[in-house]
Structure formats: C-alpha cells, structure tokens
Amino acid sequence: MNKTVKRGPPKPAGRAKARGAKALVKKAKGKPKGKAVVQTANVIAKKSVKPALKTRVKNAALDIDTGKPIKLKKGPPKPVEISATAKAIASASSTPNDASILPTDISVLAYCRAGFEPDLLAEIMSRMAATPKASWALPSSGFVRATFAAPAIKRLHSAVHEPMVFARQIMRAGLFPVALGTQDRVTPIVNAAETFLTNLNLPSVSAVWVEYPDTNDGKSLSKLAIALQSRITQQFQESGKISAQSGKRLHVFLTSKSEAWLGQTDIEFSSSWPLGIPRLRMPSEAPSRSTLKLAEAIHVFIGDDDERLFQPDMRAVDLGAAPGGWTWQLLHRGLYVTAIDNGDLRGELVDNAMVKHLREDGFKYRPLKPVDWMVCDMVESPSRIAKLVGLWLSEGWARHVIFNLKLPMKKRFEEVERCSMMIDEALGNKAERAVLQLKQLYHDREEVTGYCGFPPRAKQV
C-alpha cells in the first residue's frame, strides 16, 4: 500500500482550480531572558498528562471519578503503558542547558494548530526515530521545536520533506534563537541568517518569509513581521542572496518582539502558504462554512489533479450531508451528488436536479452501483468512520473517499495511527495500490481529514 499516514498529504501542487469556490528549555538555575519563558516538558507533562487517581482506604481504593471501591490485587503492580504522546511530552524532562547543545546537532521547527503541540512532537519523534535532547511543545503555543543529536540527521530528510499529519509547516532550524534589539531588529536577523545559510551551504534563497505563531499573542506580531520581511528581503536582494533558481526558502519565526528563530525549507516539499495557512474565500452561496474544509482537502490531497479527478457528470455520495457544505462543493465541480442525511439541505441544493437527497442513516446506506467519490463528515467516533471508509473502498462502492475523523481529547496521534491501520486491514489485498493520507487542515478543529483511494494507473508507453 502506498501509505503516507505518518506524513500527511503530499505537498500542495498549486492552487486548487475549484470551479465554484477558490478554492519548549528553562535553565537549571536562573530565569531565561526575554518574554518567551521556556519550560521543560516535565512541567508540561504535569499539566497535560493526568495519572489515574485512586484514594487508598484500608484494603480498598476509591475511584475518584465514580467513588466506588476498587479491590486491590496482591503482588507487584503491572507496568503502565505510556502513550507515544505522553512520551513525547516527557521527552525533555532531562532537557540539558544550552552548553550541551553541540554545533553538529539537528534542530527542527514546526507550526501547528494551537493545542496540538504534544501530538506534533510525538509525530516528530516517531519520524526521527529518536528522543530529542531538548524540545519545546508548550500547549497552545502554536509551534514545536526539537533538537536531536547528530546521528538523527539520517532521518531529517523524511521529517522535513515528507508531509506530516499535525504539521502545517516543518523545517530545519537554527540551534539557538536570534536576540532582537529594540531599535534595530533587521541587522541581527540578517547577520544570523547569513551564518545560518552558510552553515547549510546555501549561497542564496528564493524568498524570505517572516512568520509568527497562529495564536492571539502571535497575531500581535503580524505588523512587525510584514515590516521586517520587506526590509530583510531588500537587504538580501542588494547582497545577491535572492535567486529565483534557488528552490530554498528562508523562514524567520518571531516568538516575541525580542526573539526570532531561523529555518529553511525546500519550496518543492513545503507548504506554499505563509504560516502553512491557505487563503480560501468563503462562497456566499454555500450553505455552511464546512465547504471550506472540503475545498482545502481537495487542494491539499489532490492539487493539480483536481480537474482530472473531479470531472463533470461524475457521481458522488455525501454521507452526513446536511446542511450541504460538502455537497455544494461537489456540485460546483459538476458532480451529481446523492446527499444522505435525515437533516435538511439549504439554499440552492433544495430541489436541485443534480442533487438527490435521501433521508437515511449514513452508516446503513448502500449505493445501487459504484460511484466515483464518497465524502463523509459525520460526527461519530473515529474508529467507526475508519471502518466505514474501509468498507466502501474494499467493496468497490467508491473509488475515492475524503473523510473526517473527530479526534478524542487525549492520545490523538495514537488514534490517527489506529484508524490508519483499520483502513489498511479493511482494504486487504487492495491496500497495495491504495493511497492513504491524513492531515489536520487549517479548517479542521479537533479533527483530521483524510483521503484514501485508487489513483489512475500511469499509462504504459
């Protein structure tokens, strides 16, 4: 099976051609300078991972949640299984000070949706197959930073070049931050950037992006970022360090007005949007904002194959369609849609000749004949949706599926991998030629979106 679940979707291959919608290291002693306080992951673990609480009463224990007594078994306790996410959060509990960071170490910087930092760190650790020497994965910060020992460089290529589930943008980064003055912030950045690029053997870059976390605090840096990007780009142009043929991009990531981190991406293997956030227009005619989720999914998963895989007169089924955001997106690509939902559709979808609305259970509906596409945005447990996706594809009821997994509050990285395995097992022998991709889109919340299907085989010459 051509499977890219741990990596997320392939890089966007350009703008989607939608026809209807265009579509954390605190030092052992003393406090760090600046406003950005760096905490060890041990502190994070106390905030994020709650152990099972039991109150011992003589020969019994009371479960804090239920208040019911629990019988205590004699003998040594059984080993407690620790999730990959918990391991990731605790990975920097022995975080060294700056002196132990060596010039040969490898640092990675990634952006994500606020609240999913531990999950992203777990994914990065899995991809790098190593525990970081130091890391920052503070919940709600909107980014993750991890530094690995030199041997991890052999895994760096797959970490930053192959798409990931929870990373909006991921890059090779500098080992230390750039301290910014209050009067001149450009010169420190330019000087540090020149050294950073020289160490990477890069004489030039195609562009300079100055970015910030996608959080309320981060957005307060947007005006500063715009001003800095213009001035830094100008200095790079004057020194001949901007070249359209470079294929590399320099990132300047502001964590505060007094600190920035440097990063570098390959344009071909990275998000084409600043901050990794797509700019999609909300169609005024669409019945719900969920239409943007499907538009982004098509842009991320399908890219330039949009027109080839979404052709007029194709057939699609939308499970859990109401009020019709996903159906609307398919309709405006010229597809005939069977909308399955007991709820009502809205707007132009009502009494539309290209939309057939059936008030049925999306889990029980079966198409009379195979369709080109099945899309599903039902609010259900992720495992149940994964089984449904596997069923539709294994039975040949649809050739392509775009679906949404509503994730639990804990162990989200593990849940994504579990659902991936469920789909893989359901496909059986068909898994070898199927493509499965999962990604937390910008328009996703506590969820991820996935694509699974059988792309057309290349024609033999």
| DSSP-derived 3-state class of residue 404 | strand
Q: Are 363 and 305 in contact (CB under 8 A)?
A: no
What phi and psi values does residue 36 have, to the nearest 5 degrees? -80, 100
Q: What is the Cα 430 distance to its own chain's centre?
A: 27
User: What whole-number distance in Å separates Cα of residue 124 and Cα of residue 118?
Assistant: 10
Q: Which of 185, 179, 277, 191 is nearest to 226 (CA)?
A: 185
Q: Would you call 144 exposed, middle or buried from its count of C-beta atoms within 10 A (0-12, 13-18, 19+)?
A: buried
Set 406, 411, 439, 459: catalytic member: 406
DSSP 409-434: SS-HHHHHHHHHHHHHHHHGGGGGG-
User: What whole-number distance in Å separates Cα of residue 49 and Cα of residue 11?
Assistant: 33
Our answer to whether residue 369 is catalytic in this structure is no
Cβ neighbours around 78 below 10 Å, total = 7
Q: Would you call 19 exposed, middle or buried from its count of C-beta atoms within 10 A (0-12, 13-18, 19+)?
A: middle
Q: Which of 70, 18, 41, 94 is nearest to 286 (CA)?
A: 18
Q: How far is CA 241 from CA 244, 288, 326, in A?
A: 10, 45, 44
Pairing of strands 143-148, 134-136: antiparallel
User: What whole-number distance in Å separates Cα of residue 380 and Cα of residue 400?
Assistant: 20
Residue 336: beta bridge partners? Answer: 315
- Which stretches within 205-335 are classed as H helix? 216-219, 222-238, 290-297, 306-309, 325-331
User: What whole-number distance in Å separates Cα of residue 235 and Cα of residue 190?
Assistant: 8
Q: How far is CA 392 from CA 3, 389, 423, in A?
A: 18, 5, 10
DSSP assigned state of 82: -
User: What whole-number distance in Å separates Cα of residue 337 and Cα of residue 374?
Assistant: 9
Q: Are 229 and 187 in contact (CB under 8 A)?
A: no
Q: Can you read off the two tokens belonging to residue 445?
A: 């919340």
Q: Active-site positions? A: 406
